Structure 1
Amino acid sequence: MKKIQKTNAMRFLDQHKVEYEAHTYEHKDGDPVDGVHVANMLHQPVEAVYKTLVTQANTKEYLVYMLPVEKELDLKKCAKIAGVKSCEMIHVKDINKITGYIRGGCSPLGMKKQFRTFIEMDCLNQDKIYFSAGKIGMQIEMDPKTLIDLIHVQAGDITKE
């Protein structure tokens, strides 16, 4: 078995002595980076695989949202749960500057700065969820309740019906 090179997200979990499992999947340039493709590669149901999206509120604060890969963010609900007037998706070109990660490899853990993070409350129905380890081709599997406690994630309704 080949040794997995640790990402910032994995080092963060190790530092906090949190149990997780790392999974890798084959990814070649030109392959899709969408989450449904990732769920298929991991042989996991789409409702257990989460994507991490970054928005900016009207207050200029960056807010992080985690949701199942096949769902869509409802920006009105996102603003409401965060207690701001509005928020919009950041530009793809700004992801690295803000988070230290790239599109398709954005993890809620180990960002340049820990931003307020929210997760779709359906995660509480899952024993384990999968999300980016901070690199395309690598996912972290862990208990969503542990993630919520670790970085003070707020669970709520953030997706479109």
Structure 2
Amino acid sequence: MTPAINLLKKQKIAFSIHEYDHDPQCQNFGEEAAQKLLLDPRCVFKTLLVSDDKNFFVAIVPVTGTLNLKRAATAFGVKKLRMAEAKEAERLTGYLVGGISPLGQKKSLATCIDDSAKSFENIYVSGGKRGLDISLSPQDLSNACRHASFADIGEAK
């Protein structure tokens, strides 16, 4: 069990586990999950870490798009954001890039989920390792992430 799964069990939140064989050559982790699990990619979300050079934040957006840094900065109440480097993200979360879950991270960070998540009954996020996704309702994800906010932070590719 990963820290993400343990957290959901501890909080008694309904979820389901979806495993697939991760291709080590693949770098588009979220798109790979959608393809291998035969899911609508719009309901598969990626976990990104961003920083204003003082604090780090977690942004959760659909794998079909990108994060709009300006809108994310507004959502987090800061002036400007940059993407965190892979090593920073791994150090702060305790997960490897491609398997970073928004749940059960080593350090609790302010989190924002893209508004588009609300249009789905369940969304898929990383379960804490490559080849493992978790399905749960957007509101349950928000609650498990210490009441993450929702905002329009994503952008179509």
In the superposition, the TM-score normalised over structure 2's length comes to 0.94
Higher Rg: 1
Of 57, 60, 64, 1:66 maps to 60
The residue aligned with 1:120 is 114
The residue aligned with 1:98 is 92
- Secondary structure of the residue aligned to 2:26 is coil
The residue aligned with 2:52 is 57
- 8 Å contact 1:131–1:140 — kept in the other structure? yes
1:47 maps to a residue whose letter is: R
Of 79, 102, 108, 1:85 maps to 79
What is the alpha-carbon distance in structure 2 between the residues aligned to residue 121 and residue 31 of structure 1?
28
Deviations 1:60-107 (A, max 9, x none): 111000010011101000101110011110111222211111110000
Most deviating of 145-154 and 35-44: 145-154
The residue aligned with 2:4 is 9
- 8 Å contact 2:68–2:154 — kept in the other structure? yes
Deviations 1:122-152 (A, max 9, x none): 1111000000001000000011111112321
Unaligned runs of 5+ in 1: 1-5
The residue aligned with 2:138 is 144
Unaligned runs of 5+ in 2: none
Most deviating of 31-40 and 76-85: 31-40
What is the alpha-carbon distance in structure 2 between the residues aligned to residue 48 and residue 39 of structure 1?
8
Work out whether 1:111 is the aligned partner of 2:129: no
Work out whether 1:44 is the aligned partner of 2:44: no
- Secondary structure of the residue aligned to 1:72 is strand
The runs of 4+ residues in structure 1 deviating greater than 4 Å are none
In the superposition, the TM-score normalised over structure 1's length comes to 0.92
- 8 Å contact 2:29–2:130 — kept in the other structure? no
Residue identity over aligned pairs, in percent, reads: 34
